[in-house]
Chain A
Amino acid sequence: AQSVTQPDIHITVSEGASLELRCNYSYGATPYLFWYVQSPGQGLQLLLKYFSGDTLVQGIKGFEAEFKRSQSSFNLRKPSVHWSDAAEYFCAVGAPGGYNKLIFGAGTRLAVHP
């Protein structure tokens, strides 16, 4: 069955600390991979995506993610977290081609301490 697992429901980090949010997926082939962020009262905003090629992907707001085929993972990282990064983060996968439905993980809620 196709699924996405985000093992951490809540994470708290101090401002300026590094961040890594984990994402593992189960899919028949290498899917398209996405990270979305939802800030309070906002819709889902795309942080970054991986379709093919370089397995280290750069996104907006200083985020990056690394695709590891052998581990079926697509972890999100940021070297120095800002208070404005407090939000909920969703990992998602979709069928290659990009037309089809996305399968989401349950989300990781990030809190940032000053």
Chain B
Amino acid sequence: EAGVTQFPSHSVIEKGQTVTLRCDPISGHDNLYWYRRVMGKEIKFLLHFVKESKQDESGMPNNRFLAERTGGTYSTLKVQPAELEDSGVYFCASSPLAGGSEQYFGPGTRLTVT
């Protein structure tokens, strides 16, 4: 069974540009989560999809971040326009809809904004 995959693994962009990160969850996992780790600090929650619906987006830092999950499969996280403080590692995780399960994490996308 394939794990959670994320693309790209690294992205370097200039301030003001747009970047789109992609996450493919484990097949059949209806829960999809985005997290971010900024420079050695704790991993922080961004948002949670159940299928294609946003269940909790309380961690989204501002309206420059837009997450979508069309069709309840893969998800994208767009940052537009990117700022220096957006640099960090963006993790995606998925879990099945049945409660009590762990979240399975992808390898992360390292975003560097210069």
Contact code string B14-45 (vs A, CB < 8 Å = 1, else 0):
00000000000000000101010000111111
User: B95 to nearest A CB, angstroms?
Assistant: 7
Give the residue name and chain of the B residue nearest to A105 (CB): B42
Q: How far is the CA of A43 from the CA of B107 in the complex (A)?
A: 4
Q: Is the CB of A101 within 8 A of B105?
A: no
A43: contacting residue among B4, B42, B44, B55, CB under 8 A: B4
Q: Is the CB of A41 within 8 A of B48?
A: no
Total residues of chain B contacting the partner, CB 8 A: 30
Give the residue name and chain of the B residue nearest to A104 (CB): B43
CB < 8 Å A-B pair total: 60
Q: How far is the CA of A51 from the CA of B101 in the complex (A)?
A: 10
B31: contacting residue among A45, A49, A99, CB under 8 A: A99
Q: Is the CB of B108 within 8 A of A43?
A: yes
Q: B99 within 8 Å of A by Cβ?
A: yes
Which of A's residues lie within 8 Å of B, judged by CB?
4, 32, 34, 36, 41-46, 49, 51, 90, 92, 97-107
> What are 25 residue pairs bridging A and B, where the CB atoms are less than 8 Å apart in the complex?
A4-B42, A34-B102, A41-B107, A42-B107, A43-B4, A43-B105, A43-B107, A44-B105, A45-B105, A46-B102, A46-B104, A49-B102, A92-B43, A97-B99, A98-B100, A99-B55, A101-B45, A101-B58, A103-B45, A104-B35, A104-B43, A105-B42, A106-B40, A106-B41, A107-B43
Q: Which 3 A-B pairs have the closest CB atoms?
A: A44-B105, A101-B45, A104-B43
Which of B's residues lie within 8 Å of A, judged by CB?
3-4, 31, 33, 35, 40-45, 48, 50, 55-56, 58-59, 91, 93, 95, 99-108
